[in-house]
Amino acid sequence: MTCGLKLAAARSGTLSNHTLRQRIPLNAVRRYSSHTTSTAPPTSPFAPRHFLSIADLTSTEFAALVRNASSHKRTIKSGSIPQNLLGSLTGQTVAMLFSKRSTRTRISTEGAVARLGGQPMFLGKDDIQLGVNESLYDSAVVISSMVSCIVARVGKHAEIADLAKHSSVPVINALCDSFHPLQAVADFQTIHETFTPKAHGLNSLGLEGLKIAWVGDANNVLFDMAIAATKMGVDIAVATPKGYEIPASMLEFIKKASDGVSKPGKIIQTNVPEEAVKGADILVTDTWISMGQEAESIKRLKDFEGFQITPELAKRGGANESWKFMHCLPRHPEEVSDEVFYSPRSLVFPEAENRLWAAISALEGFVVNKGKIE
């Protein structure tokens, strides 16, 4: 997993699939920065704004997505629907291209589309495999001509980047091997709802000064969480075993994503969990064995010994007295003890619910409001 993310060169719609495969190698060479695809507002129906990473958002836009998610949650749970959302996707279809299994992402996305009056269309790996039976270019052009949005959960980041490159409708990343932006919105919504925010402007959530300790594997969930943290002035300390650190290119990408932020949060790395936990307000972990890493399970379980989040670790490391715990799920007992996971410190179930409100907020911003997030 690296930040040297690559896109295939532009393909002419007049070429056959066979010609495309021969003339344009899959590893063609333009370096991809998610941020460059999305900062400018769309200029035509064929130049939509995509949501592939938190790096695609300014600080003001990310804060707005989080605030809108919380606001819609309060309004809808009180029994009404915000006027601007009522029937906002009526008559529209959202294609959900999921090549990886999913529970929370599928339920939250389908629920979000339905609440806005739209029709979710789920296409799993047995229904469609991007770039297998036909070129990804052909799939992107055809599918986007029939729907209002594509929500994609894929393997390699290059797949969703290529899909977005050729789609005529917004593409929202529901997970790839490098990023998980909807999870980051839900995570910061949970933090924002839990910790009393300071006075702040539109480009902030008032969370400056908080510290997150990530203990475990450096993965896609961490990468977007770290981008969000630095944008919001929240420090994040990452503890991984040796050999599992954030790749240098991704670390550079994370830091660059906060360019222009007046007081970005700091990101530090260590191989000692106690060092990361010191002074932390929120302790976070995730699976040690991600999808596709099953063959490494025995080695990974051994390498991650001592990285389980427990009350003892928090005490040894000197976490803040009122520390909270987060996990994006599914959880395995080696990652966090029951004593923490099912305790009043745990935010995991509100965090999971907030996936629904994050999806509603993203659909509002990128589909209903055509990329204008405020």
Residue whose structure tokens are 């933090």: 191
Q: What backbone phi and psi angles, to 5 degrees, belong to 235?
A: -75, 145
In the chain, the N- to C-terminal Cα span, in Å, equals 32
Query: Active-site residue among 3, 149, 176, 328?
Result: 328
Virtual torsion, Cα 36, 42, 47, 48, nearest 10 deg: 90
Q: Amino acid identity of 68?
A: N
Closest CA to 258 of 69, 59, 36, 103: 59
Beta carbons within 8 Å of 137's beta carbon, 6+ residues apart: 8, 11, 13, 20, 162, 166
3 flagged as catalytic: no
Q: Decide: 232 and 188 in contact? Cβ < 8 Å.
A: yes
Label residue 370 left, alpha or beta by phi (over 0 means left) and psi (-120 to 50 means alpha).
Answer: left
Question: Six-digit token pair at 371?
Answer: 């990329």
Distance CA 293, CA 300 (A): 9
Mapping DSSP onto H, E and C, the string for 336-370 reads: ECHHHHCCCCECHHHHHHHHHHHHHHHHHHHHHCC
> What's the longest Cα–Cα distance across the chain?
64
Q: How many CB atoms lie within 10 A of CB 257?
A: 26
Residues designated as active site: 328
